[in-house]
Structure 1
Amino acid sequence: MSAEFRVNRGAELAGNQIIDWTLAIGAQSLSMRDAPRSLHWDYGNPVTLTLRFAKDSPMVALPDAEQRTLATDGKTLTWRFADPWSLLSFIARHRIADPGERADNAAQLLRFDFPLGSAAPDLTPAPRPCAAAAARAAGARPPWVGHIVARPA
């Protein structure tokens, strides 16, 4: 599969606060700073998506009890799927309808939601929703943080 990150920056909400995106499949990984390439998934390989906030970001990620695959320490968010069919579980859990026209129907639009709070120590974190999503095609999209395209290799 291949991945693209942040292809619709104009529709992002606080996307400039996330300094790195990394998709790992088994021992392979692809970061937003890497040259595009495909990752190979085999039955049983775990799939992990990690987002990292900039160290001076005024925002922190908050835990979300409704997402068992999501862990956060406030500055890093990690979605980990370790079941035998992890890639399919990952896509099924985050897939949304792609409202854009696309010639390549193999690509999947994925959305990653997580709550945000204030990083200021003197303020009580006021949760507000934030979302991250994935798409290859540009176009009118809801205000999500980023983009990933999952495509079978």
Structure 2
Amino acid sequence: MKIKFIVITTLFFFFSTYSQDNNQNKNSLVIIDEVPVYPGCEGNNEELKICFSKSIQEFFVKKFDADLPNKLNLKAGAVKVFMFFKINKMGDVDSIIVKAPHPVLVSSIKDVMSQLPKMTPGKVKGENVNVKYSIPFTIIIEETRAQRRARRKMEKEQ
């Protein structure tokens, strides 16, 4: 069974940034001045966002076990996965949340994301802030021969 990853073009799209509001002592939505920087990325904010996305995508594809969905016998077709994580004020990835159709898949994706390298954190007015990201993607699982035979057999019986 072949596995294909279809990554939405806005893969690592900026989701939201929270910084401490000193006046009200609560979190508020703000626009960041400097985006988090993946190690080795350089340029202006727009170039850094593109490099960040590309670097995380390459890291994930390299580290994720693409045969895992095969081993889990997931149904052929499109499997949607959603990842949420935060680059904290120290530049570490934390608060990883994964929504996927199988708990082993969730665990594996969390493990991969927790291995991301330390980054330069995002900043607002010169102060480090937490930056949240949302990553939707789809895994396309092609039908195995056994699944195809079973489907054809059922179709003939109907």
TM-score range, shorter-chain basis?
0.3 to 0.5
For the pair shown, the structure with the greater C-alpha radius of gyration is 2
The answer to which structure, 1 or 2, has the higher relative contact order (CA under 8 A, 6+ apart) is: 2
TM-score (normalised: structure 1):
0.32
Q: TM-score, normalised to structure 2's length?
A: 0.32
Question: Greater share of helix residues, 1 or 2?
Answer: 2
